Amino acid sequence: MATKTLIIYYSWSGTTKRAAQAIANTMAADVVELTVASQTFPSDMFATSDIAKDQLRTGELPPLTNALPDFKSYTTILIGGPVWSSMVATPVRRLMKDLATYTGTVAPFYTDAGTAGQYEQDFAGLVKQATVKVGLEVHGQSADQLTAWVQTVTG
């Protein structure tokens, strides 16, 4: 199978979307934005955090509203999302359930308002069969820095 990369991400505020677009500009890849129903999360960061914590506590993750591609057709999947309470955001966690049997390479890229905490450990624990590469905490990296990270993940 030829090498093929997917960039798939969830963006609550637009920051992760900008990161995904910047990464996509450094390589040839398919790009998919994860979406949830518009009323799932309010625009208030603290209210969203409370909802996400409740979703984690109950295990009731928000359903994704867009179709997902056939993951088996990709050798590498770059997964982007915001850091919520040092953990993978609940829409991305929902995606990870669909990736439970994926055996290719995955790597996280993530945005946060201060600290990523244990994000990468949380991420790695959600994809047991895939090869997990070191992620990228995105804070305005240059195109060269993004390209270097992509090469470490895909090369």
pLDDT tens, residue by residue, 105-117:
999 999 887 788 8
Mean pLDDT of the chain: 91
14 is in which domain, residue-wise? Answer: 5-154
Counting Cα atoms < 13 Å in the Cβ hemisphere of 109 gives 31
Predicted local distance difference test score (pLDDT) of residue 146: 85
| Average pLDDT of the segment spanning 29-35 | 96
Which CATH number is 40's domain given? 3.40.50.360
Give the Cα separation of 16 and 8 in Å (integer): 10
Predicted local distance difference test score (pLDDT) of residue 2: 59
Cα torsion 55, 56, 57, 62 to 10°: value is 20
Counting Cα atoms < 13 Å in the Cβ hemisphere of 140 gives 1
Predicted local distance difference test score (pLDDT) of residue 102: 93
Number of independent structural domains in the chain: 1
pTM of the model: 0.93
